[in-house]
């Protein structure tokens, strides 16, 4: 995939108060502006995962982005999952609701990251290994998706953003690796 230029997105830092606010339910149809932001966000994420562009534009790799991270308080997030080198599966997730989740908990071994958290953070974030989520696509069609492993973690991370929660809030301050032995590392 060839990209012309990096989309001009201003990703907010964790110090910005708006990241702590609740995003609002979205009504359809989406505006052309919202559709463009969704497209730009997906392009940005894809470029951030391709070494050539990451180096050229000094990007940290990101899988997901919630519109609240751009200062837009709408219950929308996007994920660009690299399936193989340079090939991505795109997810547009609007007004998501968790229908069910596994009992099993997992965590990211090297720790979670966030495009809004520009510092190293020690500790693990307990996440469900699997979830069924109901959401709407860019055209307002309702769908249900089953997400597992890394994708499940990514969905939970982005859904937290919609509620004003950052992954750092979920790390136990006194014991950052609390209950690690009760969860599976991925």
Q: Which residues are catalytic?
A: 158
The rounded distance, in Å, linking the Cα atoms of 94 and 103 is 25
E-state strands within 43-182: 64-66, 76-84, 87-101, 105-107, 127-128, 130-136, 142-148
Cα(first)–Cα(last) distance of the chain, in Å? 28
The answer to whether the CB of 65 falls within 8 A of the CB of 78 is yes
């Amino acid at each position: 995939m060839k990209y012309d230029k990096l989309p001009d997105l201003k990703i907010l830092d964790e110090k910005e108060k708006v990241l702590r606010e609740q995003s609002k339910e979205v009504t359809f149809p989406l505006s052309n502006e919202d559709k463009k932001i969704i497209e730009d966000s997906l392009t940005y994420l894809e470029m951030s995962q391709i070494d050539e562009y990451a180096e050229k534009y000094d990007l940290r790799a990101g899988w997901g982005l919630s519109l609240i991270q751009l200062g837009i308080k709408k219950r929308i997030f996007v994920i660009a999952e690299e399936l193989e080198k340079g090939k991505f599966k795109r997810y547009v997730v609007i007004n998501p609701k968790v229908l069910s989740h596994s009992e099993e908990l997992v965590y990211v071994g090297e720790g979670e990251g966030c495009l809004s958290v520009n510092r190293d953070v020690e500790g693990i974030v307990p996440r469900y290994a699997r979830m069924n989520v109901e959401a709407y696509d860019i055209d307002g069609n309702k769908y249900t998706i089953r997400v597992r492993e890394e994708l499940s973690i990514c969905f939970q991370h982005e859904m937290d953003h919609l509620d004003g929660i950052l992954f750092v809030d979920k790390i136990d301050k006194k014991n950052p690796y609390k209950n690690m032995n009760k969860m599976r590392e991925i």
